[in-house]
């Protein structure tokens, strides 16, 4: 499994190294840097790199790379999952996982790395167990520790480690018992020049925030469970029950977690709630033109909110002189990013962005694809609906709530 772990940044500094078996000299990272220097974008580094005696499995996150070194045949997907989980853990502890936060919290980072893996095998990956073992840094707590002499470390065996429900702590207590569910659907789509859908898929999640005392056993029924034929569950969901009765039965982890994620493939029809009409002329000199019209389409009676249009212009585009009918636009001449923040689209007149661009050189340019972001509240575009939620095993009453959101995932319009 994982022999050593290096955290490096995009400017080829090694922030940290951790060895789970014999020490591998940090010069092994030179192989990684060689590859890193060759790629154009930082995210293009190949996830699995072979060197004469080692394999470097790496992930990229926020200007950082986590590089795991392995010498034996180990499942790369497991290593990648572990690395992503480590990033998620850091994000939970330090609010973001970045060069700066890692450097600021080196000791805690090191303690966490020591706790998550043992001999390269995953040891304590469950976030709530980890937080029991090593308390996240927190201003209030550090003052309290100063006063009372307590430490950030737990002295007792974390209870979740060995129970049948390793994801849940024992003895949870709340004065207000509440369970909130967010049904989030992201539309991944490719729209071609003519406005026809090339491919469209829905990536859906049900995220929960459960603050329930004791050991509640929840049962959730859906109005139309048949929609979900490609689902991945949190380990807490009883799979047999789902297979036989199509109900979700589970003892929830404490706090925030993702209950399930689902995928609605390209074979079923996915309603596209937005259209983008474009007319872009990429000509040298001041003759370049750009015109965009955005409007709702099959919106199912809901309004489009937080609509943002992005275009990564080619390098010869020097500047843009555009007039938006709604919202604000900006063009960054260094990164060449054109950003049009429309906000809410009111029914009636569709927002437009019109104007000219100045382009240098004479080479013929390809117009860049348009990436679109939007959000529709109170709608799950697939039609998924939660029917009811029952709490068993505990006698208290609890507040329950379900929220639906549809968002753009990787939504792009070709030009």
Partner 1 sequence: MTDSKYFTTTKKGEIFELKNELNSDKKEKKREAVKKVIASMTVGKDVSALFPDVVNCMQTDNVELKKLVYLYLMNYAKSQPDLAIMAVNTFVKDCEDPNPLIRALAVRTMGCIRVDKITEYLCEPLRKCMKDEDPYVRKTAAVCVAKLHDINPTLVEDQGFVELLNDLLSDSNPMVVANAVAAITEINETRTVVKMNLQTVNKLLTALNECTEWGQVFILDALANYDPKDEREAQNICERISPRLAHANAAVVLSTVRVLMKLINMLPENSDFITQLVKKLAPPMVTLLSAEPEIQYVALRNINLIVQKRPDVLKQEMKVFFVKYNDPIYVKMEKLDIMIRLAQQNNISQVLSELKEYAAEVDVDFVRKAVRAIGRCAIKVEQSSEKCVATLLDLIQTKVNYVVQEAVVVIKDIFRKYPNRYENIISNLCENLDTLDEPEARASMIWIIGEYAERIDNADELLESFVEGFHDENTQVQLQLLTAVVKLFLKRPTDTQQLVQRVLSLATQDSDNPDLRDRGYIYWRLLSADPAAAKDVVLAEKPLISEETDLLEPSLLNQLVGYIGSLASVYHKPPTAFVDSTRAPLRGAPAAASSASTSSATPAAQDAIIVPTGTTTAAPAQPTVIPSQDNIIADLLSLDLNAPAAPAPSFPQTSTSVIPGLDDLLGGFDATTSSNPSIGGFSGLDILGGAPAAPAAPTSSSAPLGDLFGSLGGSDTGSIFPTSTGLNGYVAPKTNWLDATRGKGLEIQGTFARRAGTIYMEMTFNNKSLVPLSDFAIQFNTNSFGLTPASPIEPHVIQPNASLEINVPCRTNGPAAKTEPLTNLQVSPFLRENEINVVLAQNLILNSTKN
Distance from C-alpha of 167 to C-alpha of 126, rounded to nearest angstrom: 7
Please identify, using beta-carbon distances, which residue of 17 and 97 lies nearer to partner 1: 17
Q: Which residues pair with 18 in a beta bridge?
A: 5
Instruction: Report the site for partner 1 in 207-266 (rule: CB under 8 A).
Output: 229-235, 239-240, 243, 258, 260-261, 263, 265-266
Q: Which of residues 265-284 bind partner 1 (CB under 8 A)?
A: 265-267
For the beta sheet containing 14-19, the strands, ordered from the edge strand earlier in sequence to the opposite edge, are 14-19, 4-9, 64-70, 55-61, 48-50
State the burial class of residue 176 (Cβ atoms within 10 Å of its Cβ: 0-12, 13-18, 19+).
exposed
Q: From 52-60, 272-280, 327-335, 378-386, give the range in contact with partner 1 by CB under 8 A.
A: 52-60
Binding mask 89-108 for partner 1 (x = CB under 8 A): --------------xxxxxx
Structure tokens at 142: 């550090």
Does the protein bind partner 1 through residue 159 (CB under 8 A)?
Answer: no
- Residue 362 has phi, psi (to 5 degrees) of -115, -5
**Interface segment toward partner 1; rule CB under 8 A; list 296-304, 319-327, 339-347, 361-369:** 361-369
Is 65 a residue that touches partner 1 (CB under 8 A)? no
How far apart (Å, rounded) are the C-alpha atoms in residues 393 and 145? 37
| Binding-site string for partner 1 from residue 293 to residue 312, where x marks contact by CB under 8 A and - marks none | --------------------
Decide whether 105 or 221 has the Cβ nearer to partner 1: 105
| Residues between 12 and 51 with contacts to partner 1, criterion CB under 8 A | 14-23, 26, 39-41, 43-44, 46-48, 50
Please report, for residues 96, 97, 113, 197, the alpha-carbon distance to residue 80 in angstroms, rounded to integers and kept in the order given.
19, 16, 15, 33
Among 77, 170, 323, 337, binds partner 1 (CB under 8 A): 77
Nearer to partner 1, 1 or 304 (CB): 1
Q: Does 396 bind partner 1 (CB under 8 A)?
A: no
Q: Does 157 bind partner 1 (CB under 8 A)?
A: yes
Count CB-CB contacts under 10 A for residue 253: 24
* Closest residue by Cα to residue 172 from 162, 181, 184, 160: 160
63 part of the interface to partner 1, by CB under 8 A:
no
Q: Does 371 bind partner 1 (CB under 8 A)?
A: yes
With residues binned 3-state (H G I as helix, E B as strand, rest as coil), the percentages for the chain, rounded to 5, are 20, 40, 40
3-state secondary structure of 217: strand
Number of residues that bind partner 1 (CB under 8 A): 104
- The residue range among 192-200, 210-218, 245-253, 375-383 that interacts with partner 1, by the rule CB under 8 A, is 192-200
């Amino acid at each position: 499994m994982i022999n050593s772990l290096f955290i490096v940044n995009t400017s080829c500094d090694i922030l940290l190294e951790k060895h789970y078996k014999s020490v591998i000299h940090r010069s092994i990272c030179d192989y990684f840097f060689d590859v890193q220097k060759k790629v154009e974008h930082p995210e293009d580094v190949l996830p699995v790199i072979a060197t004469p005696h080692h394999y470097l499995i790496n992930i990229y996150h926020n200007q950082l790379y986590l590089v795991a070194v392995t010498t034996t045949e180990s499942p790369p997907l497991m290593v990648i999952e572990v690395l992503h989980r480590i990033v998620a853990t850091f994000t939970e502890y330090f609010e973001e996982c970045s060069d700066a936060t890692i450097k600021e919290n080196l000791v805690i980072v090191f303690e966490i790395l020591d706790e998550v893996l043992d001999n390269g095998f995953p040891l304590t990956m469950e976030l709530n167990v980890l937080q029991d073992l090593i308390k996240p840094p927190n201003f209030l707590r550090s003052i309290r520790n100063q006063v009372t002499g307590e430490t950030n470390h737990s002295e007792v065996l974390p209870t979740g480690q060995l129970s049948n429900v390793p994801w849940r702590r024992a003895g949870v207590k709340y004065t207000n018992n509440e369970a909130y569910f967010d049904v989030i659907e992201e539309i991944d789509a490719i729209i071609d020049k003519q406005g026809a859908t090339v491919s469209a898929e829905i990536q859906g999640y049900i995220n929960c925030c459960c603050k329930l005392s004791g050991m509640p056993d929840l049962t959730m029924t859906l109005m139309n469970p048949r929609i979900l034929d490609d689902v991945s569950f949190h380990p807490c969901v009883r799979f047999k029950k789902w297979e036989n009765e199509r109900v979700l039965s589970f003892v929830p982890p404490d706090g925030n977690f993702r209950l399930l994620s689902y995928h609605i493939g390209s074979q079923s029809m996915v309603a596209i709630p937005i259209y983008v009409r474009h007319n872009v002329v990429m000509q040298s000199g001041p003759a370049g033109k750009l015109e965009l019209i955005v409007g709702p389409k099959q919106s199912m009676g809901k309004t489009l909110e937080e609509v943002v249009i992005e275009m990564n212009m080619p390098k010869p585009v020097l500047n843009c002189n555009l007039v938006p009918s709604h919202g604000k636009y900006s063009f960054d001449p260094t990164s060449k990013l054109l950003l049009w923040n429309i906000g809410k689209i009111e029914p009636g007149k569709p927002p437009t962005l019109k104007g000219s661009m100045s382009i240098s050189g004479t080479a013929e340019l390809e117009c860049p694809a348009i990436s679109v972001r939007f959000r529709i509240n109170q709608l799950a575009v697939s039609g998924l609906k939660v029917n009811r939620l029952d709490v068993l095993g505990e006698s208290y009453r609890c507040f329950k709530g379900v929220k639906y959101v549809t968002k753009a995932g990787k939504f792009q319009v070709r030009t």
